[in-house]
Amino acid sequence: MEEKRLVMLETAPEPDTDQKPSTMSRRGLLKLGVALNALAGVLLGVPIVGYLASAARKKEMIEALAWIPLGEVNTFPEGETRLATFRNPLTNPWDGETGDVTCWVRRLDKEEFQVFAINCTHLGCPVRWFPQSELFMCPCHGGAYYADGAKASGPPPRGLFRYQSRIEDGKLVILGGMMPTLGHQRVRAGTDERPPCA
């Protein structure tokens, strides 16, 4: 009887080795999980490394602040507000027209100018100057600013950002290369009255 069983075992057909099992082994599943976790760690780490590396660029960004000419003083008539454009010093050659920054220049008298960023302090929409009412007005949400850049009405939390300006060799120049935020203005002017961070 044992001989018959051995014979039957020997004559049994061999399984087809071309077909692979459809289920993944535990080891394969573990390797896949480790690989996915490593990929997620790298994707989450890239912004963190970029943020930490930006502190190293701070010196480069401060050096990029430059006095940029807006034009001859006589191109801005006394008592008028005009649009002017300058090139951001932090741009690259391939930035094209996106590196051009627009601002409003208001000449008060022979030597005194006010230069405002074109962006509304609410959500950054470009404001327009209306000489009839002597107001800067935002078309997006109805924000209004007086001629000196102070908030008149609407949702903006504060007045327009004002660039530092001066006259050099008969040209009006402004300190450019920073984002038009009031935080930069207060810190650079030395009038930052915010409480220290805890």
Domain ranges of the chain: 30-64, 66-189
pLDDT at 190: 42
Between these two residues, 150 and 195, which has the higher pLDDT value?
A: 150
User: Per-residue pLDDT averaged across 12-40, rounded?
Assistant: 78
CATH number of 66-189: 2.102.10.10
The b-or-e profile of 155-182 (16+ CB within 10 A means b, else e) is ebeebbbbbbbeeeeebbbbbbbbebee
Mean residue pLDDT of the chain comes to 78
pTM above 0.85, yes or no: no
Cα 186 to the center of its chain, rounded Å: 20
